[in-house]
Chain A
Protein backbone atom coordinates (compact mmCIF):
# COMPACT_ATOMS: atom_id res chain seq x y z
CA UNK A 1 0.00 0.00 0.00
CA UNK A 2 2.73 2.43 1.02
CA UNK A 3 4.36 4.05 -1.94
CA UNK A 4 8.15 3.49 -1.84
CA UNK A 5 8.56 7.09 -3.03
CA UNK A 6 7.22 8.41 0.26
CA UNK A 7 9.85 6.55 2.26
CA UNK A 8 12.39 7.94 -0.16
CA UNK A 9 11.26 11.52 0.41
CA UNK A 10 11.38 11.08 4.18
CA UNK A 11 14.88 9.61 3.90
CA UNK A 12 16.02 12.55 1.81
CA UNK A 13 14.71 15.04 4.32
CA UNK A 14 16.49 13.15 7.11
CA UNK A 15 19.71 13.18 5.19
CA UNK A 16 19.43 16.89 4.56
CA UNK A 17 19.07 17.42 8.28
CA UNK A 18 22.03 15.17 9.03
CA UNK A 19 24.15 16.97 6.49
CA UNK A 20 23.29 20.28 8.11
CA UNK A 21 24.22 18.96 11.48
CA UNK A 22 27.66 17.91 10.26
CA UNK A 23 28.26 21.23 8.58
CA UNK A 24 27.21 23.03 11.73
CA UNK A 25 29.80 21.02 13.69
CA UNK A 26 32.49 21.83 11.19
CA UNK A 27 31.66 25.52 11.26
CA UNK A 28 31.70 25.47 15.02
CA UNK A 29 35.16 23.84 15.03
CA UNK A 30 36.59 26.34 12.59
CA UNK A 31 35.01 29.20 14.54
CA UNK A 32 36.55 27.87 17.72
CA UNK A 33 40.06 27.86 16.30
CA UNK A 34 39.71 31.25 14.67
CA UNK A 35 38.41 32.42 18.04
CA UNK A 36 41.58 31.20 19.73
CA UNK A 37 43.57 33.03 17.09
CA UNK A 38 41.80 36.32 17.74
CA UNK A 39 41.82 35.77 21.50
CA UNK A 40 38.30 34.58 22.41
CA UNK A 41 36.97 31.17 21.38
CA UNK A 42 33.39 32.07 22.34
CA UNK A 43 33.32 35.01 19.91
CA UNK A 44 34.62 32.69 17.25
CA UNK A 45 31.87 30.16 17.81
CA UNK A 46 29.17 32.83 17.86
CA UNK A 47 30.46 34.29 14.63
CA UNK A 48 30.54 30.87 13.03
CA UNK A 49 26.98 30.31 14.23
CA UNK A 50 25.75 33.52 12.65
CA UNK A 51 27.49 32.77 9.38
CA UNK A 52 26.03 29.30 9.38
CA UNK A 53 22.48 30.52 9.92
CA UNK A 54 22.87 33.03 7.11
CA UNK A 55 24.24 30.35 4.81
CA UNK A 56 21.45 28.03 5.73
CA UNK A 57 18.79 30.61 4.95
CA UNK A 58 20.48 31.57 1.70
CA UNK A 59 20.86 28.00 0.51
CA UNK A 60 17.35 27.03 1.57
CA UNK A 61 15.50 30.01 0.17
CA UNK A 62 17.56 30.93 -2.84
CA UNK A 63 19.77 27.93 -3.42
CA UNK A 64 18.41 27.59 -6.93
CA UNK A 65 19.46 31.16 -7.73
CA UNK A 66 22.98 30.49 -6.52
CA UNK A 67 23.15 27.29 -8.51
CA UNK A 68 21.78 28.79 -11.73
CA UNK A 69 24.28 31.68 -11.43
CA UNK A 70 27.11 29.21 -10.94
CA UNK A 71 25.96 27.28 -13.98
CA UNK A 72 25.48 30.40 -16.09
CA UNK A 73 21.82 29.66 -16.74
CA UNK A 74 19.21 32.19 -17.85
CA UNK A 75 15.47 32.00 -17.29
CA UNK A 76 13.32 31.75 -20.41
CA UNK A 77 9.64 32.42 -21.03
CA UNK A 78 7.09 30.52 -23.08
CA UNK A 79 7.36 33.04 -25.91
CA UNK A 80 11.12 32.60 -26.16
CA UNK A 81 11.17 28.80 -26.08
CA UNK A 82 7.71 27.41 -26.83
CA UNK A 83 9.00 23.93 -27.63
CA UNK A 84 10.86 23.52 -24.36
CA UNK A 85 8.08 25.18 -22.39
CA UNK A 86 5.44 22.88 -23.87
CA UNK A 87 7.52 19.83 -23.12
CA UNK A 88 8.03 20.79 -19.49
CA UNK A 89 4.37 21.67 -19.11
CA UNK A 90 3.38 18.26 -20.51
CA UNK A 91 5.53 16.52 -17.92
CA UNK A 92 4.18 18.72 -15.18
CA UNK A 93 0.72 17.51 -16.21
CA UNK A 94 1.90 13.91 -16.34
CA UNK A 95 3.38 14.06 -12.85
CA UNK A 96 0.61 16.21 -11.39
CA UNK A 97 3.23 18.61 -9.99
CA UNK A 98 3.46 22.37 -10.33
CA UNK A 99 5.26 23.83 -13.31
CA UNK A 100 8.93 24.53 -12.54
CA UNK A 101 10.74 27.59 -13.89
CA UNK A 102 12.77 26.94 -16.99
CA UNK A 103 16.38 27.96 -17.53
CA UNK A 104 18.67 27.61 -20.50
CA UNK A 105 22.45 27.35 -20.54
CA UNK A 106 23.91 28.53 -23.82
CA UNK A 107 26.39 25.82 -24.62
CA UNK A 108 26.56 23.04 -27.15
CA UNK A 109 27.37 20.40 -24.52
CA UNK A 110 24.13 18.50 -23.90
CA UNK A 111 23.13 18.30 -20.24
CA UNK A 112 20.41 19.25 -17.77
CA UNK A 113 19.77 19.70 -14.05
CA UNK A 114 17.11 20.65 -11.54
CA UNK A 115 17.32 22.67 -8.33
CA UNK A 116 15.07 24.11 -5.65
CA UNK A 117 13.77 23.34 -2.17
CA UNK A 118 10.39 21.80 -3.03
CA UNK A 119 8.13 21.16 -6.04
CA UNK A 120 6.59 24.63 -5.67
CA UNK A 121 9.94 26.38 -5.87
CA UNK A 122 11.90 24.41 -8.40
CA UNK A 123 13.76 25.09 -11.60
CA UNK A 124 14.88 22.95 -14.49
CA UNK A 125 17.86 24.01 -16.56
CA UNK A 126 18.80 22.50 -19.91
CA UNK A 127 21.62 23.35 -22.26
CA UNK A 128 21.08 24.52 -25.82
CA UNK A 129 23.00 21.48 -27.03
CA UNK A 130 20.54 19.17 -25.30
CA UNK A 131 17.59 20.76 -27.08
CA UNK A 132 19.34 20.63 -30.42
CA UNK A 133 20.35 17.00 -30.19
CA UNK A 134 17.29 15.29 -28.78
CA UNK A 135 13.92 14.65 -30.32
CA UNK A 136 10.75 15.33 -28.40
CA UNK A 137 10.47 11.95 -26.72
CA UNK A 138 14.08 11.97 -25.62
CA UNK A 139 13.77 15.50 -24.28
CA UNK A 140 10.64 14.39 -22.44
CA UNK A 141 12.63 11.57 -20.87
CA UNK A 142 15.29 13.99 -19.61
CA UNK A 143 12.74 16.49 -18.30
CA UNK A 144 10.84 13.65 -16.62
CA UNK A 145 14.07 12.57 -14.91
CA UNK A 146 14.52 16.11 -13.57
CA UNK A 147 10.87 16.30 -12.50
CA UNK A 148 11.44 13.03 -10.65
CA UNK A 149 14.38 14.55 -8.75
CA UNK A 150 12.20 17.49 -7.79
CA UNK A 151 9.36 15.22 -6.78
CA UNK A 152 11.64 13.02 -4.64
CA UNK A 153 13.16 16.06 -2.86
CA UNK A 154 16.56 15.09 -4.22
CA UNK A 155 17.06 18.64 -5.36
CA UNK A 156 16.63 20.15 -1.90
CA UNK A 157 19.46 18.04 -0.61
CA UNK A 158 21.65 18.60 -3.65
CA UNK A 159 21.09 22.35 -3.77
CA UNK A 160 21.80 22.85 -0.10
CA UNK A 161 24.81 20.54 -0.22
CA UNK A 162 26.30 22.47 -3.11
CA UNK A 163 25.98 25.86 -1.43
CA UNK A 164 27.50 24.55 1.80
CA UNK A 165 30.28 22.66 0.09
CA UNK A 166 31.06 25.81 -1.84
CA UNK A 167 31.56 27.75 1.39
CA UNK A 168 33.88 25.10 2.79
CA UNK A 169 36.06 25.45 -0.26
CA UNK A 170 35.88 29.22 0.12
CA UNK A 171 36.95 29.05 3.76
CA UNK A 172 39.87 26.79 2.95
CA UNK A 173 41.07 29.23 0.28
CA UNK A 174 40.84 32.14 2.74
CA UNK A 175 42.70 30.15 5.37
CA UNK A 176 45.49 29.39 2.96
CA UNK A 177 45.77 33.03 1.92
CA UNK A 178 45.82 34.20 5.52
CA UNK A 179 48.61 31.82 6.33
CA UNK A 180 50.57 32.86 3.30
CA UNK A 181 50.31 36.56 4.10
CA UNK A 182 50.78 35.97 7.79
CA UNK A 183 53.88 34.01 7.04
CA UNK A 184 55.33 36.71 4.82
CA UNK A 185 54.46 39.63 7.06
CA UNK A 186 55.99 38.16 10.14
CA UNK A 187 58.79 36.30 8.56
CA UNK A 188 61.45 37.95 10.70
CA UNK A 189 59.85 38.07 14.15
CA UNK A 190 59.00 35.34 16.62
CA UNK A 191 55.78 36.87 17.89
CA UNK A 192 53.57 35.35 15.22
CA UNK A 193 54.63 31.84 16.15
CA UNK A 194 51.54 30.86 18.13
CA UNK A 195 49.10 32.42 15.66
CA UNK A 196 50.77 30.58 12.87
CA UNK A 197 50.49 27.30 14.64
CA UNK A 198 46.76 27.85 15.07
CA UNK A 199 46.36 28.82 11.45
CA UNK A 200 48.24 25.71 10.57
CA UNK A 201 45.81 23.74 12.71
CA UNK A 202 42.82 25.27 10.93
CA UNK A 203 44.39 24.54 7.62
CA UNK A 204 45.02 21.00 8.71
CA UNK A 205 41.42 20.55 9.79
CA UNK A 206 40.09 21.96 6.56
CA UNK A 207 42.54 19.90 4.59
CA UNK A 208 41.44 16.75 6.37
CA UNK A 209 37.77 17.55 6.37
CA UNK A 210 37.41 18.80 2.82
CA UNK A 211 37.75 15.36 1.23
CA UNK A 212 35.43 13.90 3.84
CA UNK A 213 32.85 16.46 2.93
CA UNK A 214 33.37 15.87 -0.73
CA UNK A 215 32.66 12.23 0.05
CA UNK A 216 29.58 13.21 2.05
CA UNK A 217 28.36 15.21 -0.88
CA UNK A 218 28.61 12.11 -2.97
CA UNK A 219 26.84 10.12 -0.34
CA UNK A 220 24.12 12.74 -0.33
CA UNK A 221 23.92 12.83 -4.06
CA UNK A 222 23.95 9.11 -4.06
CA UNK A 223 23.94 7.02 -7.12
CA UNK A 224 20.94 5.06 -6.03
CA UNK A 225 18.73 8.05 -6.47
CA UNK A 226 19.74 8.36 -10.09
CA UNK A 227 18.30 4.90 -10.70
CA UNK A 228 15.21 5.86 -8.77
CA UNK A 229 14.80 9.09 -10.74
CA UNK A 230 15.20 7.13 -13.97
CA UNK A 231 12.50 4.71 -12.87
CA UNK A 232 10.16 7.51 -11.78
CA UNK A 233 10.78 9.29 -15.07
CA UNK A 234 9.85 6.16 -16.99
CA UNK A 235 6.69 5.98 -14.94
CA UNK A 236 5.82 9.62 -15.72
CA UNK A 237 6.26 9.25 -19.46
CA UNK A 238 5.31 5.59 -19.76
CA UNK A 239 8.14 5.33 -22.26
CA UNK A 240 11.54 4.33 -20.79
CA UNK A 241 13.14 4.16 -24.22
CA UNK A 242 12.98 7.96 -24.57
CA UNK A 243 15.28 8.52 -21.61
CA UNK A 244 17.46 5.53 -22.48
CA UNK A 245 18.18 6.82 -25.96
CA UNK A 246 18.70 10.36 -24.63
CA UNK A 247 21.33 9.07 -22.17
CA UNK A 248 22.97 7.17 -24.95
CA UNK A 249 23.16 10.28 -27.09
CA UNK A 250 24.44 12.73 -24.50
CA UNK A 251 26.90 10.67 -22.46
CA UNK A 252 29.52 10.59 -25.19
CA UNK A 253 29.08 14.28 -25.90
CA UNK A 254 30.59 15.50 -22.65
CA UNK A 255 33.85 17.21 -23.58
CA UNK A 256 37.01 18.24 -21.83
CA UNK A 257 37.00 21.74 -20.33
CA UNK A 258 33.41 22.29 -21.28
CA UNK A 259 31.82 25.50 -20.01
CA UNK A 260 29.58 23.55 -17.66
CA UNK A 261 32.37 21.55 -16.09
CA UNK A 262 32.29 22.48 -12.42
CA UNK A 263 33.31 20.22 -9.58
CA UNK A 264 30.71 21.56 -7.20
CA UNK A 265 27.87 21.12 -9.65
CA UNK A 266 28.72 17.82 -11.27
CA UNK A 267 26.43 15.79 -9.05
CA UNK A 268 23.49 17.88 -10.11
CA UNK A 269 23.54 17.21 -13.82
CA UNK A 270 21.74 14.30 -15.46
CA UNK A 271 25.03 13.15 -16.94
CA UNK A 272 28.31 13.98 -15.25
CA UNK A 273 29.79 16.90 -17.24
CA UNK A 274 33.32 15.99 -16.13
CA UNK A 275 33.14 12.67 -17.94
CA UNK A 276 35.10 14.07 -20.85
CA UNK A 277 37.88 15.16 -18.52
CA UNK A 278 38.53 11.63 -17.35
CA UNK A 279 40.75 9.56 -19.48
CA UNK A 280 39.31 6.10 -18.99
CA UNK A 281 35.95 5.01 -17.71
CA UNK A 282 37.64 2.62 -15.28
CA UNK A 283 38.23 4.97 -12.40
CA UNK A 284 34.98 6.81 -12.74
CA UNK A 285 32.80 3.99 -11.47
CA UNK A 286 34.00 4.24 -7.89
CA UNK A 287 34.32 7.98 -7.50
CA UNK A 288 31.57 9.12 -9.76
CA UNK A 289 28.47 10.89 -8.52
CA UNK A 290 26.54 9.00 -11.17
CA UNK A 291 26.19 5.34 -11.97
CA UNK A 292 27.66 4.44 -15.34
CA UNK A 293 25.36 5.44 -18.15
CA UNK A 294 25.45 1.96 -19.69
CA UNK A 295 24.05 0.53 -16.50
CA UNK A 296 21.28 3.12 -16.38
CA UNK A 297 20.39 2.48 -19.99
CA UNK A 298 20.37 -1.26 -19.40
CA UNK A 299 17.98 -0.90 -16.48
CA UNK A 300 15.70 1.44 -18.41
CA UNK A 301 15.51 -0.95 -21.34
CA UNK A 302 14.69 -3.83 -19.01
CA UNK A 303 11.60 -2.06 -17.69
Chain B
Protein backbone atom coordinates (compact mmCIF):
# COMPACT_ATOMS: atom_id res chain seq x y z
CA UNK B 1 0.00 0.00 0.00
CA UNK B 2 2.71 2.39 1.03
CA UNK B 3 4.76 1.69 -2.02
CA UNK B 4 1.86 2.84 -4.19
CA UNK B 5 2.02 6.24 -2.56
CA UNK B 6 5.73 6.45 -3.10
CA UNK B 7 5.32 5.47 -6.70
CA UNK B 8 2.58 8.07 -7.17
CA UNK B 9 4.76 10.74 -5.60
CA UNK B 10 7.68 9.87 -7.85
CA UNK B 11 5.46 9.89 -10.90
CA UNK B 12 4.05 13.23 -9.92
CA UNK B 13 7.54 14.68 -9.52
CA UNK B 14 8.57 13.35 -12.89
CA UNK B 15 5.45 14.80 -14.48
CA UNK B 16 6.09 18.18 -12.90
CA UNK B 17 9.67 18.12 -14.11
CA UNK B 18 8.57 17.29 -17.65
CA UNK B 19 6.00 20.09 -17.66
CA UNK B 20 8.50 22.60 -16.31
CA UNK B 21 11.24 21.64 -18.76
CA UNK B 22 8.88 21.56 -21.69
CA UNK B 23 7.61 25.04 -20.93
CA UNK B 24 11.14 26.37 -20.51
CA UNK B 25 12.14 24.88 -23.82
CA UNK B 26 9.14 26.41 -25.56
CA UNK B 27 9.76 29.89 -24.18
CA UNK B 28 13.45 29.69 -25.01
CA UNK B 29 12.67 28.59 -28.53
CA UNK B 30 10.26 31.50 -28.90
CA UNK B 31 12.90 33.88 -27.63
CA UNK B 32 15.34 32.58 -30.21
CA UNK B 33 12.69 32.92 -32.93
CA UNK B 34 11.98 36.48 -31.91
CA UNK B 35 15.66 37.34 -31.79
CA UNK B 36 16.09 35.89 -35.27
CA UNK B 37 13.16 37.83 -36.67
CA UNK B 38 14.76 40.95 -35.22
CA UNK B 39 17.87 40.32 -37.28
CA UNK B 40 15.76 39.64 -40.30
CA UNK B 41 13.76 42.85 -39.99
CA UNK B 42 16.93 44.87 -39.59
CA UNK B 43 18.63 43.24 -42.56
CA UNK B 44 15.50 43.98 -44.58
CA UNK B 45 15.69 47.63 -43.53
CA UNK B 46 19.35 47.84 -44.38
CA UNK B 47 19.07 46.28 -47.81
CA UNK B 48 15.97 48.30 -48.59
CA UNK B 49 18.11 51.38 -48.23
CA UNK B 50 20.76 50.10 -50.63
CA UNK B 51 19.12 51.10 -53.96
CA UNK B 52 18.43 54.53 -52.54
CA UNK B 53 22.01 54.80 -51.33
CA UNK B 54 23.44 53.68 -54.68
CA UNK B 55 21.33 56.26 -56.50
CA UNK B 56 22.39 59.05 -54.20
CA UNK B 57 26.04 58.18 -54.45
CA UNK B 58 26.24 57.30 -58.16
CA UNK B 59 26.45 60.87 -59.42
CA UNK B 60 29.36 61.70 -57.12
CA UNK B 61 31.46 58.57 -57.37
CA UNK B 62 32.19 58.00 -61.03
CA UNK B 63 35.39 56.13 -60.32
CA UNK B 64 34.16 53.86 -57.60
CA UNK B 65 32.11 51.47 -59.68
CA UNK B 66 33.21 48.37 -57.80
CA UNK B 67 32.20 49.74 -54.42
CA UNK B 68 28.69 50.32 -55.69
CA UNK B 69 28.62 46.98 -57.42
CA UNK B 70 29.63 45.16 -54.27
CA UNK B 71 26.71 46.83 -52.51
CA UNK B 72 24.23 45.68 -55.13
CA UNK B 73 25.80 42.24 -55.09
CA UNK B 74 25.40 41.98 -51.31
CA UNK B 75 21.76 42.90 -51.69
CA UNK B 76 21.05 40.21 -54.26
CA UNK B 77 23.02 37.71 -52.20
CA UNK B 78 20.72 38.49 -49.32
CA UNK B 79 17.58 38.31 -51.47
CA UNK B 80 18.57 34.80 -52.52
CA UNK B 81 19.61 33.63 -49.07
CA UNK B 82 17.43 31.08 -47.35
CA UNK B 83 19.45 29.35 -44.66
CA UNK B 84 20.85 31.00 -41.56
CA UNK B 85 24.32 30.49 -42.90
CA UNK B 86 23.54 32.22 -46.19
CA UNK B 87 21.85 35.07 -44.38
CA UNK B 88 24.87 35.50 -42.14
CA UNK B 89 27.12 35.49 -45.21
CA UNK B 90 25.03 38.14 -46.97
CA UNK B 91 24.96 40.16 -43.77
CA UNK B 92 28.75 40.20 -43.70
CA UNK B 93 29.13 41.08 -47.36
CA UNK B 94 26.67 43.92 -46.90
CA UNK B 95 28.35 45.17 -43.78
CA UNK B 96 31.72 45.24 -45.47
CA UNK B 97 30.35 46.98 -48.57
CA UNK B 98 28.64 49.69 -46.54
CA UNK B 99 31.70 50.21 -44.42
CA UNK B 100 33.86 50.56 -47.52
CA UNK B 101 31.42 52.98 -49.11
CA UNK B 102 31.43 55.29 -46.12
CA UNK B 103 35.21 55.10 -45.92
CA UNK B 104 35.51 56.04 -49.58
CA UNK B 105 32.90 58.79 -49.18
CA UNK B 106 35.40 60.61 -46.98
CA UNK B 107 37.17 61.62 -50.19
CA UNK B 108 34.09 63.30 -51.65
CA UNK B 109 33.27 66.49 -49.75
CA UNK B 110 30.33 67.30 -52.04
CA UNK B 111 28.77 63.95 -51.32
CA UNK B 112 29.33 64.31 -47.61
CA UNK B 113 27.47 67.61 -47.69
CA UNK B 114 24.52 66.07 -49.53
CA UNK B 115 21.47 66.20 -47.27
CA UNK B 116 20.08 62.93 -48.48
CA UNK B 117 23.43 61.20 -48.02
CA UNK B 118 23.79 62.51 -44.50
CA UNK B 119 20.38 61.16 -43.60
CA UNK B 120 21.16 57.79 -45.12
CA UNK B 121 24.45 57.67 -43.30
CA UNK B 122 22.88 58.20 -39.88
CA UNK B 123 20.11 55.77 -40.68
CA UNK B 124 22.55 53.10 -41.79
CA UNK B 125 24.96 53.69 -38.95
CA UNK B 126 22.05 53.15 -36.58
CA UNK B 127 20.97 50.01 -38.40
CA UNK B 128 24.47 48.53 -38.50
CA UNK B 129 24.72 49.02 -34.79
CA UNK B 130 21.34 47.45 -34.19
CA UNK B 131 22.24 44.49 -36.37
CA UNK B 132 25.34 43.91 -34.28
CA UNK B 133 23.24 43.89 -31.12
CA UNK B 134 20.51 41.76 -32.66
CA UNK B 135 23.16 39.20 -33.69
CA UNK B 136 24.59 39.18 -30.21
CA UNK B 137 21.15 38.72 -28.68
CA UNK B 138 20.26 35.94 -31.08
CA UNK B 139 23.50 34.07 -30.46
CA UNK B 140 23.00 34.30 -26.72
CA UNK B 141 19.46 32.97 -26.80
CA UNK B 142 20.58 30.18 -29.13
CA UNK B 143 23.39 29.26 -26.80
CA UNK B 144 20.99 29.02 -23.86
CA UNK B 145 18.55 26.98 -25.93
CA UNK B 146 21.21 24.63 -27.26
CA UNK B 147 22.68 24.12 -23.81
CA UNK B 148 19.31 23.14 -22.44
CA UNK B 149 18.65 20.78 -25.33
CA UNK B 150 22.01 19.06 -24.91
CA UNK B 151 22.25 18.82 -21.15
CA UNK B 152 21.07 15.89 -19.12
CA UNK B 153 18.28 15.37 -18.14
CA UNK B 154 16.51 18.03 -20.19
CA UNK B 155 17.98 16.45 -23.33
CA UNK B 156 15.57 13.53 -22.83
CA UNK B 157 12.59 15.85 -22.85
CA UNK B 158 13.98 17.79 -25.79
CA UNK B 159 14.31 14.57 -27.73
CA UNK B 160 10.85 13.43 -26.71
CA UNK B 161 9.26 16.60 -28.10
CA UNK B 162 11.64 17.07 -31.03
CA UNK B 163 13.37 20.25 -29.98
CA UNK B 164 16.33 20.87 -32.24
CA UNK B 165 19.48 22.87 -31.64
CA UNK B 166 19.85 26.07 -33.62
CA UNK B 167 22.65 27.36 -35.74
CA UNK B 168 24.53 30.47 -34.61
CA UNK B 169 24.38 33.59 -36.70
CA UNK B 170 28.09 33.36 -37.30
CA UNK B 171 30.31 36.34 -37.71
CA UNK B 172 33.61 34.91 -38.78
CA UNK B 173 36.92 35.92 -37.28
CA UNK B 174 35.72 38.68 -35.01
CA UNK B 175 34.26 39.05 -31.60
CA UNK B 176 30.49 39.30 -31.56
CA UNK B 177 30.76 42.88 -30.52
CA UNK B 178 33.03 44.81 -32.74
CA UNK B 179 30.36 46.61 -34.61
CA UNK B 180 31.49 48.64 -37.57
CA UNK B 181 32.26 52.00 -36.11
CA UNK B 182 30.82 54.53 -38.50
CA UNK B 183 31.90 57.85 -37.20
CA UNK B 184 29.15 60.42 -37.48
CA UNK B 185 31.18 63.44 -36.64
CA UNK B 186 32.95 62.93 -39.94
CA UNK B 187 36.24 61.93 -38.36
CA UNK B 188 38.54 59.10 -39.28
CA UNK B 189 37.13 55.70 -39.96
CA UNK B 190 38.25 53.20 -37.37
Give A residues with C-beta under 8 Å from B.
82-83, 85-87, 89-91, 93-96, 135-137, 140, 237-239
Contacts and interface: CB of A to CB of B under 8 A. Distances in A.
B176 A86 contact: no
B129 A82 contact: no
Contact of A94 (B125, B137, B184): B137
A238 B177 contact: yes
A86 B35 CA distance: 18
27 contacts: A82-B122, A83-B122, A83-B126, A83-B184, A85-B126, A86-B122, A86-B125, A86-B126, A86-B127, A86-B129, A86-B130, A89-B130, A90-B130, A90-B133, A93-B38, A93-B42, A94-B133, A94-B136, A136-B125, A136-B129, A136-B181, A136-B184, A137-B181, A237-B177, A238-B136, A238-B175, A239-B177
Given A90-B129, A238-B176, A96 B122 contact: no
Contacts, number: 53
A193 B185 CA distance: 70
B55 to A, nearest CB: 21
B134 A93 contact: yes
Contacts of B185: 135
B164 interface: no
A141 to B, nearest CB: 12
Interface string B105-139: 00000000000000000110111011011101100
A96 B130 contact: no
The 9 lowest CB-CB distance pairs between A and B, nearest first, are A86-B126, A238-B177, A94-B133, A90-B130, A90-B129, A93-B133, A90-B133, A93-B134, A82-B122
A136 B134 CA distance: 17
B31 interface: yes
B184 A93 contact: no
A242 B42 CA distance: 24
* A interface: dominant SS: helix
B157 to A, nearest CB: 15
A192 to B, nearest CB: 66
Contacts of A237: 177
Nearest to B178: A239
Given A86-B123, A93-B133, 6 more contacts: A82-B122, A82-B126, A85-B126, A87-B126, A90-B133, A137-B181
A6 B133 CA distance: 23
Q: How big is the B interface, by class?
A: 20 to 34
A91 B130 CA distance: 8
B123 A82 contact: yes
A81 B175 CA distance: 30
B23 to A, nearest CB: 15
A87 B129 contact: yes
A99 to B, nearest CB: 11
A131 to B, nearest CB: 11
Contacts of A86: 122-123, 125-127, 129-130
Contacts of B141: 96
B133 A91 contact: yes
Contacts of B176: 238
B168 to A, nearest CB: 15
Interface in B141-161: 141
A95 B125 CA distance: 19
B126 A96 contact: no
Contacts of B31: 96
A135 B137 CA distance: 23
A77 to B, nearest CB: 14
A93 to B, nearest CB: 5
Nearest to A237: B177
Contact of B137 (A82, A85, A96): A96
Given A136-B181, A238-B177, A93 B130 contact: yes
A137 B132 CA distance: 13
Contact of A96 (B35, B129, B132, B177): B35
Contacts of A85: 126
Given A87-B129, A136-B129, A239-B177, A93 B122 contact: no
Given A96-B35, A238-B176, A90 B137 contact: no
Nearest to A239: B177
Nearest to A95: B137
Interface in B35-62: 35, 38, 42
Nearest to A144: B133
Nearest to A85: B126
Contacts of B184: 83, 136
Nearest to B39: A93
A239 B125 CA distance: 18
